[in-house]
Amino acid sequence: MIPSQMLKGILGGCILTVISREETYGYEISQKLRQMGFGNIAEGTIYPLLLRLTKNGCICATLKASDTGPARKYYSLTNTGKEELAQFQKDWLELSTAVNHLIGENSHG
Amino acid sequence: MADKKKIHALQKQSEEAEKKICKADNEAYTDMIVYLRASNLTMYQQEQVRRDLLEITLSGEQRGESIEEIFGGDYQGVCDEIIANFPPVTLRDKVINTASICLMGVTITLLATAGTQVVTNLIQHKNPLLYQFEVSSILLFAVTVGAAYGIVMYICKTALKTKAKPQHKVRLFFLRWLVLFLIFSGILLLSVYVKATLFACNIFIIIAAAAICYLVHRVLDNRTEY
């Protein structure tokens, strides 16, 4: 399981990646992340992150009727979100390359 | 700015849907909402978050999850993160909101004291339209409003604190009762012993003052960010 502190810094970018594929909602995001190997991320812990991404203008929410009662929020990427996602992917590539280099050096040395 | 109609509509929807929450999850859900009430979120933001948390809780329950699984167990952490994602209320809004609440309190106090004064005057065969404003009325108002605000804030802020151990529960119970006893004793002593009259006037002046306070409250209320 990925430590939560390590996950904290990249979860926003990962959520943007999931939303970029199709309009989706909180639970579906948590399930997709689980399928990708992120472990069990409770839907309730994703909600504050979705609020932050909405506040920053990266995603926008549309309310759609749900069979459980209150309307459910479906999220989609905005143009700002697309830019943010591109930046995240670039940053991640840089970071992962550096970390992989470091780990590779250690295992070979 | 959201109007009150929108807020009431959201409140009504949530109240109806909250009946569907299962008993085991209801306490934790309610504690989260109570905790959010003490935050700087506007009324409209609180109701929007309430609707979202409710939807998350109900759909989780429908999948057979408990509220602990839905929110990962750290309710306060989730709520604090939610609060942090909203812009803080400006000083101007805080002042307007506080003034608006105080003026409503003054209106109620003036009308209530005017009502009791008429009855007292009639019983004591005095001029029923004579209003004597006592120092104790101001002190009573301050103590009552302060105590009410303090109690509400205490309940909201501690809603998500880890529940006390059984031996601490008894101590906490007595401590709370002691605080309430001191507050109410204070109120009682003030009303009995502080009898100095600040001013006396016709009761219609008080009713007019109450009406002005109410009007200013309404004006400020319309300027309050909900």
Give the residue from chain A lying closest to B58, CA to CA: A68
Q: Domain B4-84 falls in which CATH fold?
A: c-terminal domain of poly(a) binding protein (1.10.1900)
Which of A26, A48, A68 minimises the CB distance to B62?
A68
Collect all residues of chain B within an 8 Å Cβ-Cβ radius of residue A47.
52-53, 56, 78, 82
Residue B194: its pLDDT value, please?
74
How far is A88 from chain B, CA to nearest CA, in Å? 20
Residue range(s) occupied by CATH 1.10.1900 in chain B: 4-84
- Between residues 43 and 102 of chain B, which touch chain A (CB distance below 8 Å)? 51-56, 58-60, 62-63, 69-72, 74, 78, 81-82, 84-86
From first to last of the 226 residues of chain B, give the pLDDT tens digit.
Answer: 567 888 999 999 999 999 999 999 999 999 999 999 988 888 899 999 999 999 999 999 999 999 999 999 899 999 999 999 988 778 888 888 888 888 988 898 889 889 988 998 999 888 888 888 877 777 777 777 788 888 888 888 888 876 656 667 778 788 888 888 888 888 778 777 777 788 889 999 999 999 999 999 999 888 766 6
Across A10-19, A22-31, A100-109, least confident range: A100-109
Collect all residues of chain A within an 8 Å Cβ-Cβ radius of residue B55.
66, 68-73
Q: Could you report the predicted ipTM of this complex, rounded to two decimals?
A: 0.87
Contact B131, B117 (CB under 8 A): yes
Give the residue from chain A lying closest to B87, CA to CA: A55
Which one, of B73, B63, B61, lies nearest residue B28 by Cα?
B73
The CA distance from B220 to B10, in Å, is: 23
Q: Residue A15 above 90 pLDDT?
A: yes
Show the domains of chain A with their CATH numbers: 4-108 (1.10.10.10)
Q: How many CB atoms lie within 10 A of CB A6?
A: 9
User: Do A47 and B53 make contact, defined as CB atoms within 8 angstroms?
Assistant: yes
Q: Residue A43 above 80 pLDDT?
A: yes
